[in-house]
Amino acid sequence: MSDSDDTYDSFDERDALCSFLPQGDPIVGLRQRNRRKFWEECDSLAAEIPGLKEVKEILEEDVISELEEEERAGCPLPSTPEDPALFEQEVKEVLKVGLRDLDLGTLMNCAREPAEELVRKVWESWSVCHFHHLPRWLQDNDYLHHGHRPPLPSFMQCIKSIFRIHTETGNIWTHLLGCIAFIAVMVVFVSRSSEVVPISHKIALTPFFLGVILCLGLSAAFHAFSCHSEFVGKIFSKLDYCGITILITGSFVPWLYYGFYCQIQPMIIYLTIVVVLGIMAMIVSLWDKFSESRFRPLRAAVFTTFGLSGVIPAIHYTILEGWLNAVYFASLGWLILMGVLYILGALIYTFRIPECLFPGKFDIWFQSHQIFHVLVIAAAFVHLHGITEMFTYRMSIGACAVQSATFIT
């Protein structure tokens, strides 16, 4: 009788022990059958997976004490699949991947722990991979060679990956920190007393704050969960594009409100146009193929055009009030700077600068997408400064009748 046969005997003894367990505990028996099947298939797998035999031997040494421990602990780990076929499949796949990607020493250490712990540790011990090893749905930027996350079909794994270094680390943190910063600014602004900031002004600026927070938050979420699966990745990429649309729409609202504060009709017309354009951009970005790599220029074009549509009310304002008033009272300079930052970001994003010039050299840091993210945050802060200035002027000027006397003629 071989060593493994001895082990089977111990499993049989274990089955006998388990017959004393309450009827509500069928999982114990199921796990034993799963283990047995696994060892039966181990010999055939050993040919395919180098090093599996050694792992098996170490696991067998500890199996009796492990079972005793389980008895004390109660029933299996919550994540243990109840379907034997699922269990077998998971063990095979994880060991194949794990043994390929991990060094044997690490695995040997892991092997001294219960089988489920081993599976869990190997499963969690993913390592970054080359672009060519990614599934097609994860292949986005072929100028980034190394450091990609493999598919991680678990939300917890994706969240944990935020704290590891890979091609998306910079993308996640740039917008996550930006989102937190804008939440803090919004809380400070909204919580000010209504004598300092009247409620109507709080309402006017809130769409901008919400737009930035949603855009940055959804973007960070997209970059965190994009590797979960093709389905989840697509949903989050659509949310990411919706966030950009909300940001552009939200940025227009306070500027149009303060710019045309005393001309209600153009204000309402422009606000309506912006909302309609925002809805249209959102519909386009919900199109299934919109997130595909080949439509990168189209994405940049849609959002840039939408953003640049702000030129029309800006020209209108300048014609009505003159260039100097536009600069002093409508923060035109800040508006232009914001536009320049967005356009620069869109160009860098589209042409994938600098990694297209030095493929493989900006895999982790300073890649085009990170620069684009930083420029988006810079543009949002510039716009915040601009509309805060407009708000301050409006508060100091007062009623519309006084405004004409204040303006530069």
User: Among residues 95 and 376, whose Cβ is nearest to Zn ion?
Assistant: 376
Q: Which residue is nearest to Zn ion (CB)?
A: 219
Summarize the annotated binding site as residue ranges. 223, 369, 373
The residue among 219 and 325 lying less far from Zn ion, judged by its C-beta, is 219
- The answer to whether the beta carbons of residues 189 and 197 sit under 8 Å apart is yes
* Pick 128 or 218: Cβ nearer Zn ion: 218
If the CB atoms of residues 13 and 230 are measured against Zn ion, the closer one turns out to be 230
- Long-range Cβ contacts of 107-116 (<8 Å, 24+ apart): 107/51, 107/55, 108/54, 108/55, 108/58, 111/55, 111/58, 111/59, 112/58, 112/62, 114/66, 114/69, 114/70, 115/35, 115/38, 115/59, 115/66, 115/91, 116/76, 116/77, 116/79, 116/80
The residues binding Zn ion (CB under 5 A) are: 219
Q: CB of 281: closest distance to Zn ion in angstroms?
A: 16
Question: Which are the contacts of 391, defined by CB distance < 8 A and separation ≥ 6?
Answer: 201, 204, 205, 254, 258
How far apart are CB 71 and Zn ion at their closest, in Å?
50
For residue 360, give Cα distances in angstroms to 38, 132, 145, 366, 374.
41, 13, 5, 12, 21
Minimum CB–partner distance for residue 220 and Zn ion (Å): 8
Residues annotated as binding site for Zn(2+)? 223, 369, 373
Between 70 and 140, whose beta carbon lies closer to Zn ion?
A: 140
CB distance 28 to 11 below 8 Å = no
Least Å from the CB of residue 171 to Zn ion? 5
CB of 223 to Zn ion, least distance (A): 6
